[in-house]
Amino acid sequence: MFLENTTKQPRGGGWIEVICGSMFSGKTEELIRRLNRAKIARQRVEIFKPAVDTRYDEENVVSHNETAIKSTPVQAASQIILLAFDVDVVGIDEAQFFDNELAAVCNILANDGIRVIVAGLDMDFKGQPFGPIPSIMSTAEYVTKVHAICIECGNLAQYSHRLIEDDNLVLLGETDRYVPLCRKCFLIKRNHK
């Protein structure tokens, strides 16, 4: 079980935390919770999100239940290094939409003594590893996999099933385009296409 550490670490004492799972599993809500706790502990926090994700807000990171926190939208992972100076904690939402350089960026920040908290989908709509998340997970000190509830059977869901026909890897959407499914229900839906 993950034991949240909110203490300020000495230089060289950084680490990486990953919050992953399917859509509608509470990843962003958990990211916001951890970042708010760091702020309460008077830590200097900076939050980033991919500029492409404007579903709820141009700048703020917003969860499905409308909890929000101020962030800085960026076009590429390399920009995070340039903007994350004089901070204790860096939060990164929707990490799957960043380029593969994000894994190196997270490690550079952690090696410099920064606590890095990353949230994102671990699998795409086909059930395959998504973007830089697998690489980040492999070097992270802590990985928390959160689950939604399968809308078909009520079991824990770890898949994001796309409801519309579109083969583009990135297709922003909500419940109009995606639903969470468990393994069994996901395989049934995928095999009926």
Question: What is the set of active-site residues?
Answer: 94
**Contact 89/38 with Cβ under 8 angstroms?**
yes
Amino acid letter, residue 183: R
Q: What is the largest CA-CA distance in the chain?
A: 54
Amino acid letter, residue 134: P
Alpha-carbon span 40 to 32, nearest angstrom: 12
Q: State the alpha helices, DSSP H only, in 41-179.
A: 78-83, 102-111, 133-139
The SS3 of residue 135 is helix
